[in-house]
């Protein structure tokens, strides 16, 4: 079950207090197994409340029932593994992002496809007079941002179809929402290796991205540079900027291979 479905489940269940109580139970089980009575005592909640929350957490895979009570479930292990992988990737990407910021003079970032979204893992800001917001941790649909498009262009048929068959939001007048046109665009991106987006998610922001490829030939992330449309790309050659992003992405890919 993806994070978005988990959030929907908890919204259906109740309010923020339920989430806080569930998190208290998960923290309690982080290093040990425990029964309902012990957990209720540790988190200072009624046994009936703890039992109800444990049943829901068990359904989600966040906890697992054992002979002696409950322990952390496979969902939490999956989340932790993904977080570790993302943190490691962001750390490796940092010097290449910094190099792009120096070379282009605009913000640079690293993104991945995560449960159908473009997830921004890290962003390094430029020292420009007008600065953009930090998108780290944000999720946006992949069809309207450069990093999402290059990742979809190199994604599996299943991932690509899932993205294009879902309702495609129109964020600006430039957002491409026709699936057939997007498929043709993705084919061209896969051949070219980079993609520019001009005000397709936010009217006054342009961006360009290139995929990071692992040793098996899979696009596991994307490097991008973005900036205000009034100055980016400005009078600079878009192809030369795209080449700089593609070079940094290739260098990071080679670093991952080592």
The radius of gyration of the chain's CA atoms, rounded to the nearest angstrom, is: 22
Residue 130: predicted pLDDT: 56
Which two tokens mark 86?
């993302």
Residue 78: predicted pLDDT: 61
Residue 47: predicted pLDDT: 87
> Which positions ≥6 away from 218 have C-beta within 8 Å?
154
The matching CATH number, chosen from 1.10.3720.10, 1.10.260.40, 1.10.10.10, 3.30.420.40, for 3-72 is 1.10.10.10
Give yes or no for a contact between 155 and 105, defined as CB atoms under 8 angstroms apart.
no
Q: Which residues pair with 66 in a beta bridge?
A: 69
Helices (H), 166-209: 179-192
The CATH number of the structural domain formed by 80-257 is: 3.30.450.40
5 three-state secondary structure: helix
| Domain segments of the chain as ranges | 3-72, 80-257
Q: Give me the tens of pLDDT residue by residue for the chain, a chain 258 residues long.
A: 444 444 455 454 456 778 788 888 888 887 778 888 888 888 888 888 888 888 888 888 888 888 778 887 777 666 655 555 555 688 888 899 999 999 999 999 999 998 889 999 889 988 765 567 788 888 999 999 999 999 999 999 999 999 999 899 999 999 999 999 999 999 999 999 999 999 999 999 999 999 999 888 889 999 999 999 999 999 999 999 999 999 999 999 988 877
Residue with tokens 């982080």: 30
E-strand stretches of the chain: 63-66, 69-72, 107-114, 117-124, 139-140, 195-198, 205-213, 219-228
> pTM score, two decimals?
0.68
């Amino acid at each position: 079950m993806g994070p978005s479905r988990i959030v929907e489940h908890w919204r259906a269940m109740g309010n923020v207090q339920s989430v806080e109580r569930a998190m208290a139970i998960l923290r309690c089980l982080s290093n040990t197994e425990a029964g309902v009575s012990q957990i209720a005592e540790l988190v200072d909640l009624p046994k009936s409340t703890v039992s109800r929350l444990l049943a829901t957490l068990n359904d989600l895979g966040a906890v697992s029932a054992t002979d002696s009570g409950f322990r952390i479930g496979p969902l939490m292990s999956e989340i932790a593994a993904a977080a570790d992988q993302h943190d490691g990737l962001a750390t490796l990407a940092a010097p290449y992002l910094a190099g792009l910021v120096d070379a282009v003079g605009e913000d640079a970032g690293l993104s991945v496809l995560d449960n159908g979204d473009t997830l921004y893992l890290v962003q390094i800001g430029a020292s420009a007079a007008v600065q953009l917001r930090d998108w780290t941790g944000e999720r946006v649909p992949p069809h309207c941002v450069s990093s999402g498009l290059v990742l979809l262009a190199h994604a599996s048929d299943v991932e690509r179809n899932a993205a294009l068959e879902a309702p495609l939001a129109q964020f600006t007048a430039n957002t491409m929402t026709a699936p057939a046109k997007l498929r043709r665009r993705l084919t061209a991106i896969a051949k070219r290796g980079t993609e520019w987006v001009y005000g397709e998610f936010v009217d006054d922001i342009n961006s360009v991205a290139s995929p990071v490829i692992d040793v098996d030939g899979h696009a596991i992330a994307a490097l991008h540079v973005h900036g205000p449309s009034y100055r980016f790309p400005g009078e600079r050659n878009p192809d030369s900027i795209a080449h700089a992003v593609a070079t940094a992405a290739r260098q990071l890919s080679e670093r991952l291979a080592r």
